[in-house]
Every structure is written in C-alpha cells, then in structure tokens.
C-alpha cells in the first residue's frame, strides 16, 4: 500500500516538473516574439516618418487589416505564409493614415514526452493588435496654457450662491445639509446646487452669513462715504470683530462678535416671534415682530394688558387653579409678569420676564409686594433679577427661580377672600 502511494507521488512530481519546463519554454518564446514585434513596429514607423518605404516591403489592405510581406518571411520564420497577403504592386503609405492593425500570431505547444523538450507551432489568430502610430508633427505655432480662470468661476466665492452663482443678498436660506442658497433660489423652489447635494432648500436661515455680509456692506458704504470712492478690496471681519445683528433694520442696535452671533440670534427679541400666550394657552396663532406686540395685545388680548407697575392688583380666589400673564411696557422694553396658583401643589408662583436677551434681562430687577390693607404692619416682599423669555416660564417655576409661596401662608393676607398685591420693575442701580 505504501509503494502505491510513493509511485503516485513520484508520478505527480514528474508531471509538475514537465509543466514547469513547458511554461519556461513558453515564456522564452513569448519574449522572443515581443522583441521581434517591437523591431517590426520600429521599422514601420521609421518608414512612415521618412516616406521611404523599401521596395521589398509590400502591403495589402483588406478592410481594417493590413498585412505586410517582403518575399520570404524573415521576421517570423515560424509564421505560416499562407495567412499573409502579398500585393502584386508596391504601395506608398500615407503619413496621415498609417497602418494600425496587424495580425497577431498565437502559438500552441507541442510537448515531447520522451525527451522532455518542447517544440512550438505558430498559428495565426483572428484577434488583432493595435500598433501605436507616431505622434503628430508639432505645430509651428507655440501653444500657450490657458491660465485665465473663467469669469463665472472666478466670481464664485464664499459670498456667492452655489445654486445660481449670483452674489448673496441679506436673506440666505439653508438646505437640509446646511449649505446656503439665496432668496431667489428659495422662492423658485430650487434644489441646493452644492456638488453631490441636491437637497431641498428649507426655511432655515443662515444668520451668521447674513450678518457677515451685512457688515461687509456697511463697511464698504462707510469707506465710500469717507473716501469718496468705493474701496476695491473687501473688508472681512475677523473672529474678534463685532458685526451688526441681522435684525438691525427691525430695531436691534447690538453689535456682536461673529463667534457669538448664533447665540445672540437664538434670543434676539427682534426675531419674528409667536404670541407669548400661545405656549401657555395655545389659543393664538399670531406671528410678528416685537414692535407689533403691543397693538396685537390691545386688539386680541386686552385682558392681559391691564397691569402696570405700582398698580394695586387683586387675585380673586386661591381655591382654584389660576394663571394670568400681563404685558408691561417700560419705554421700549417689553416685560411679562406671570402669576400661577397650583392647588395640587398648594403653591403660588410669581415672576417677571424680559422679552430680550439674557444679558439685557440681567440689568433689571423686579419686586413683589403682597399685603392686606387691614394689616398695615404685615407685608410679603420679594426682590429678584429679571430673566429672559429665552428660558421657559414653566422651567422657571419648576426650578423655583422666582417668588414661591405656600398657599397656606398666602391666605393669611386674604381680605374678603381676595389677595392684594403690587409689582415693580426697575433698572438696576449698579448698571
């Protein structure tokens, strides 16, 4: 049994050695063929360039195939001459139409099992090989590289709309991926023109870029007024330079660092806003600017405009849940005074918000007095800093950042079942 395995193994080893010898011979023959083919191509190109075709070289053109012969086939001695066409007359090769196609011979091995050597027979194949022609003659006119950037692309920069290519205006919208587009492309319902994007342009505004462009325009106008001529170079503010708020035309006079602009725009009171009562009562769908809020309350919510500073007000009962919001104007500032009675928690909450930024609200204090006229020596007094409407009033009540009184204590100030109170809003003295 062991001898049979050994004999089988030796047989496979001999076959592998034979195959290796065969492949080695094939590789040598392939290299020899490619070398002769290169020589032939070199001779053909030299003949084309010099327009001096040897008389012994004759061609026959059949369709797209070109066959060459010079009597006996000395270039490929193993190539079958019967497959090579020979023309009866010589032909001159046109320099503009050189021969590009020749028949490529293929070879098949005929192995000899007795000697271990291999002989080969070339057989012409129908496949063709493209022979590269000589490059065209250089033109007498020197070519100059086009270094000029197209005008359209040259004008496109960070201040141009990627969708239409026009310069951005003061209103800029963004697609779902955050790419900017001008208001004209948004109005046309177009898609984002940024490469590989194509998303719908949404109502989301790019406030940072709007402010940057507005500040550049303002700087350019200022330079033009002072110098009498428009400056050719754009003045782009750096990260520490302050820019105007995009809501400047609506009344915002603040100048903010470009790095802080996004935070400001989240609480800028001159943004378009919803009615403050919508979040609390859900019964108003008005939207507008803050300078329109007073007239809106007067027309639609007059019961929420009855309060004023240093005015005696009354809560009729503490036995039921109660909530009221008063709009109070002091100069150009708009305040909301809140009262909430929660019978489930048995608590009374009171607070004041400024419709503005947190830094502006911190400049104001509010004060609350709860009293009973029949008890002149008793009074509840609370003093605190105003908070911005950027913080939800429910969040303020939940975190007790306001006046919080147990109803059991509040009822000690009742007069005929009602609670009397006043509130004051004052600018901080240290400001």
Residues 19 and 115 in one domain: yes
Q: CA–CA separation, 185 vs 167, rounded Å?
A: 12
Q: What is the CATH number of the domain that holds 373?
A: 2.60.210.10
> Per the structure, how many domains does the chain have?
4
Q: What is each CA distance from 219 to 109, 225, 231, 293, in whole angstroms?
A: 85, 10, 10, 33
Average pLDDT, integer, range 326-337: 94
Residues 91 and 116 in one domain: yes
Residues 124 and 172 in one domain: no
In this predicted structure, the answer to whether residue 348 has a pLDDT above a threshold of 60 is yes
99, 93 contact by CB (below 8 A): yes
In tens, the pLDDT along 373-388 reads 999 899 999 999 999 9
Is residue 89 included in any domain, yes or no?
Answer: yes
Q: CA–CA separation, 224 vs 17, rounded Å?
A: 91
**Residue after which a domain boundary falls, among 130, 147, 181:** 130
In this predicted structure, the answer to whether residue 90 has a pLDDT above a threshold of 60 is no
Lowest mean pLDDT among 15-19, 137-141, 254-258: 137-141
Q: Which pLDDT score, from 0 to 100, does residue 1 have?
A: 52
Is residue 190 included in any domain, yes or no?
Answer: yes
Residues 110 and 192 in one domain: no
Using 50, 70 and 90 to split pLDDT, how confident is the model at 247? confident
If residue 298 lies in a helix (H) or strand (E), which one and from where to where? helix 293-300
Is residue 315 included in any domain, yes or no?
Answer: yes
In this predicted structure, the answer to whether residue 425 has a pLDDT above a threshold of 70 is yes
Q: Which pLDDT score, from 0 to 100, does residue 185 have?
A: 87
In this predicted structure, the answer to whether residue 93 has a pLDDT above a threshold of 50 is no
In tens, the pLDDT along 61-87 reads 444 444 444 444 444 455 444 444 443
Domain that holds residue 165: 155-205
Q: Which pLDDT score, from 0 to 100, does residue 195 have?
A: 82
Single out the residue of 348, 357, 349 nearest to residue 395, CA to CA. 349
The answer to whether the predicted template modeling score (pTM) of the entire model surpasses 0.75 is: no
Residues 311 and 229 in one domain: no
According to the 3-state scheme, what is the secondary structure of 26-62? HHHHHHHHHHHHHHHHHHHHHHHHHCCCCCCCEEEEE
Residues 65 and 46 in one domain: yes
Is residue 141 included in any domain, yes or no?
Answer: no
In tens, the pLDDT along 153-209 reads 444 566 788 888 877 877 888 898 888 888 888 888 878 888 888 888 888 888 888
Lowest mean pLDDT among 10-14, 44-48, 144-148, 184-188: 144-148
Is residue 283 included in any domain, yes or no?
Answer: no
Residues 201 and 215 in one domain: no
Q: Which pLDDT score, from 0 to 100, does residue 89 have?
A: 39
In tens, the pLDDT along 363-419 reads 999 999 999 999 989 999 999 999 999 899 999 999 999 999 999 999 999 999 899
Residues 33 and 64 in one domain: yes
Residues 244 and 369 in one domain: no
In tens, the pLDDT along 271-312 reads 888 899 988 888 888 988 888 999 999 999 999 999 999 999
Is residue 380 included in any domain, yes or no?
Answer: yes
**Residue after which a domain boundary falls, among 130, 163, 186:** 130
- Max avg pLDDT among 130-139, 339-348, 356-365: 339-348
Residues 161 and 260 in one domain: no
Residues 319 and 216 in one domain: no
Look at 134 and 423; give whichever has higher pLDDT: 423
In tens, the pLDDT along 22-58 reads 888 888 888 888 888 888 888 888 776 665 544 444 4
Residues 201 and 214 in one domain: no
Instruction: Please state whether beta strands 101-111 and 172-175 pair in parallel, antiparallel, or not at all (unpaired).
Output: unpaired
In this predicted structure, the answer to whether residue 357 has a pLDDT above a threshold of 80 is yes
251, 360 contact by CB (below 8 A): no
Q: Which pLDDT score, from 0 to 100, does residue 314 have?
A: 94
**Residue after which a domain boundary falls, among 130, 145, 179:** 130
Single out the residue of 350, 354, 327 nearest to residue 396, CA to CA. 350
In this predicted structure, the answer to whether residue 327 has a pLDDT above a threshold of 60 is yes
Single out the residue of 193, 188, 235, 418 nearest to residue 315, CA to CA. 418
Is residue 232 included in any domain, yes or no?
Answer: yes
Is residue 27 included in any domain, yes or no?
Answer: yes
In tens, the pLDDT along 206-227 reads 888 887 777 776 665 555 555 5
């Amino acid at each position: 049994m062991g001898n049979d395995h050994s004999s089988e193994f030796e047989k496979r080893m001999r076959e592998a050695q034979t195959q290796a010898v065969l492949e080695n011979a094939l590789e040598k023959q392939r290299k020899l063929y490619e070398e002769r083919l290169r020589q032939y191509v070199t001779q053909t190109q030299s003949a084309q360039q010099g327009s001096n075709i040897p008389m012994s070289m004759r061609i026959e053109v059949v369709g797209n195939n070109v066959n060459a012969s010079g009597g006996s086939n000395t270039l490929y001695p193993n190539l079958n001459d019967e497959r090579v066409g020979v023309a009866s007359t010589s032909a001159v090769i046109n320099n503009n139409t050189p021969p590009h196609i020749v028949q490529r011979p293929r070879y098949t091995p005929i192995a000899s099992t007795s000697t271990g050597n291999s002989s080969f027979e070339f057989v012409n194949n129908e496949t063709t090989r493209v022979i590269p022609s000589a490059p065209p003659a250089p033109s007498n006119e020197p070519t100059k590289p086009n270094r000029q950037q197209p005008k359209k692309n040259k004008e496109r920069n960070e201040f141009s709309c990627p969708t239409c290519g026009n310069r951005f205006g003061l209103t800029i919208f963004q697609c779902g991926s955050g790419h900017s587009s001008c208001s004209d492309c948004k109005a046309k319902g177009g898609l984002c023109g940024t490469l590989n994007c194509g998303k719908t342009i949404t109502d989301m505004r790019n406030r940072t870029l709007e402010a940057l462009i507005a500040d550049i325009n303002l700087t350019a106008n200022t330079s033009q007024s002072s110098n009498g001529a428009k400056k050719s170079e754009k003045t782009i503010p750096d990260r520490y330079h302050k820019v105007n708020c995009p809501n400047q035309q609506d009344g915002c006079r603040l100048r903010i660092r470009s790095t802080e602009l996004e935070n400001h725009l989240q609480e800028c009171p001159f943004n378009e806003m919803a009615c403050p009562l919508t979040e609390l009562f859900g019964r108003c769908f008005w939207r507008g600017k803050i300078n329109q809020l007073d007239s809106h309350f007067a027309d639609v919510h007059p019961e929420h405009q009855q309060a004023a500073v240093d005015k005696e007000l009354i809560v009729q009962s503490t036995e039921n849940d109660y909530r009221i919001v008063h709009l109070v104007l002091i100069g150009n500032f708009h305040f909301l005074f809140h009262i909430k009675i929660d019978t489930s928690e048995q608590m009374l909450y009171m607070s004041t918000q400024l419709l503005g930024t947190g830094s502006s609200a911190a400049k104001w204090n509010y004060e609350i007095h709860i009293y009973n006229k029949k008890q002149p020596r008793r009074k509840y007094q609370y003093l605190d800093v105003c908070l911005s409407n950027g913080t939800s009033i429910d969040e303020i009540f939940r975190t007790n950042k306001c006046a919080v009184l147990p109803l059991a204590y509040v009822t000690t100030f009742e007069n005929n079942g009602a609670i009397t109170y006043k509130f004051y809003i004052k600018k901080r003295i240290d400001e």
